[in-house]
Structure 1
Amino acid sequence: MHASRRTELLAAGAATVTVVLWASAFVSIRSAGAAYSPGALALGRLLAGGLALGAICLLRREGLPPRSAWRGIAVSGVLWFGLYMVALNWGEQLVDAGTAALVVNIGPILIALLGARLLGDAMPPRLLAGMAVSFAGAVAVGLSMSDHGGSSVLGVALCLLAAVGYAGGVVAQKPALERASALQMTTFGCLVGAVMCLPFAGQLVSEAARAPASATLNMVYLGVFPTALAFTTWAYALARTTASRMGATTYAVPALVVLMSWLVLDEVPGPLTLAGGALCLAGVAVSRSRRRAAEPEVAPEPRPAKASDSV
């Protein structure tokens, strides 16, 4: 039981690292996106992440993933590392930040639906209630950040495409993580995404020559931390819980973005934004909680752990 509790705590810690770094990515994208086009930014981010991950794999002598994991790695690389990053970067240039947040935050709901359909994930009432509360908070944050009339149909469609790519990538990752390590999954998924973005290599070279150093450093930061590190900690946590529960955890990101924008960019949030952020965090807490069962005085016989047993 102590080993199980330790695994739960490590998974929760990994998930926390992920959401904090993904929240920080929104601040960096604002700087890098002013100098780099969507495809070039995605490619530069993936190349930086791939180099960092490749170096770690060589030091650890990680080796290639087993053949049985390659299907999930390829699908995740195409949908999440490739399609999602380009579509989101492009969509955020055509819609305001609030609208983008609203549309992309249907991703966890799609993950829950796909996870239940394709992976057999359970949909306990607390998970559903927590997701409903968090989504209401995301709507409040999005509405408070929206510039009315600043959206386009194409921009909304691209953000929706990003949400679909995100959900499909997560669901593809889950079964592959039973065969490949978190580091293998992230490294080779990142490389697949980089190959997908190679058509933007010319743009990346020309824009890098003109971009200010701050924008390029932000792009490198995006690759090393919100991509290489955060996607690895995500995969580690996903291997130890359900896709639905991990998707619900990402609803903490809007609340952290509000806090970071306040601290780093001096963007003071209004009452509706603060209330929405609080709802997001409350919903995550509900979705991650479990009903406490009475513990027997004598420990039961050990049984094989299942992914659905973890928080």
Structure 2
Amino acid sequence: MVPFLRRGHRLAGPALVTITAIGLLSIMDGMIKYVTMEHGAGQIAMLRYAFGSLAAAAVFFATRTPLPAGATLRPHLWRSVLVSITAVTFFYSLSVLQLAVALALSFTSPLFIALFAALFLGERPGRSILLALGLGFAGVLVVLWNELDVSAGGSLASGPGIAAALVAAVTYALAMVTLKSRAARDPAPTIVLLQNVFSCVLVSPLAVLQWTPPTGAALLLFCGIGLLGTAGHLCMAWAYARADASRLGVFEYTAFVWALAIGLFAFNEIPAPSTLAGAALIAGGALLASGRRKVREAEVEIGP
């Protein structure tokens, strides 16, 4: 049996919930890729968080979660700045890059998660985690080599799109590490509600500048995007409250499996052999994320 799925293993629950969350968010990314054809990244981010706020509020009040204290708002506002930057830059990359390229670049985020978790949370990833990260990153490089090699039939992606995807990977990693620092303190419904509300407000000025009236069908898509985003981040908050950020970060690589399915069924993309080879390396890295480690609550706050 796969090590992290052994009965009683403390990583099994958080790992499976994280993989589920990544699946939900990957489906959301596919829907966002579709709406980028007619709407700017700022407007997409604002509508995504507006509908996400409604879904998160419903969960918040249905679970009778206590209202957050004033001191709780400041760290969540700082984290929402990171989340907003991540959303706008990644949505922009989806609009100008192929889905596989944008997602492959985003898979560098577990490397940054492990780095920031060590710097800010005092986590010390073991050899298996470092090897898993290395295998996963090697898989990403294999995919990128094929996608960006013009002589092999690929197409060079734009510099701004690549830069935006890498910025999104860094800010996403910081956001997930700060999630770890708050997940042990605040209920998941509070975390997700504040993230959606604050992010919606933060990206609204950019949304106004890019505004294009959405059709009824587009509004339904945005509603689905908001629901998937809220469900995914609720799962993330639950998982990060129960396991190390550096260990769960490795499972970000499973998004590639979701990306293959979404590309095939939604965009008629047939994966190249090198893409499948990269996916195998990524999956192998994720499977190495096993082993027992004590869950450690962060003793520091991250942010200004």
Contact 1:98 1:144 in 2 (8 A): no
- 2:296 aligned partner: 307
> How do 1:239-250 and structure 2 match up within 5 A?
239-250=241-252
- 1:38 aligned partner: 41
- 1:195 aligned partner: 201
**145-154 vs 256-265, greater mean Cα deviation:** 145-154
Cα drift, residue 52 of structure 1: 0.5
Unaligned runs of 5+ residues in structure 1 are 293-304
Cα drift, residue 134 of structure 1: 1.1
**51-60 vs 263-272, greater mean Cα deviation:** 263-272
How many residues were matched structurally? 287
- 2:26 aligned partner: 23
Contact 2:33 2:99 in 1 (8 A): no
The alignment's C-alpha RMSD in Å is 2.4
Residue identity opposite 1:219 in structure 2: F
Distance 1:246 1:152 in 2: 31
- 1:290 aligned partner: 291
Unaligned runs of 5+ residues in structure 2 are 1-6, 298-304
- 1:230 aligned partner: 232
Residue identity opposite 1:188 in structure 2: L
- Alignment equivalent of 2:186, drawn from 180, 196, 203: 180
- Alignment equivalent of 2:223, drawn from 220, 237, 252: 220
- 2:3 aligned partner: none
Matched, 1:156 2:162: yes
Residue identity opposite 2:115 in structure 1: L
Contact 1:15 1:233 in 2 (8 A): yes
Contact 1:79 1:168 in 2 (8 A): yes
Are residues 236 and 248 of structure 1, via their aligned partners in 2, closer, same or farther at CA, if it must alter by over 3 Å?
same
- TM-score using structure 2 length: 0.86
After superposition, the C-alpha distances for 1:237-284 in whole angstroms (9 at most, x for unaligned) are 011011111211101101221123223433221211111112111111
Say which one has the larger Rg. Answer: 1
- 1:52 aligned partner: 55
- 1:167 aligned partner: 173
Contact 1:42 1:197 in 2 (8 A): yes
- TM-score using structure 1 length: 0.84
Cα drift, residue 36 of structure 1: 1.3
Distance 2:30 2:225 in 1: 10
Distance 1:154 1:306 in 2: 39
Contact 2:37 2:95 in 1 (8 A): no
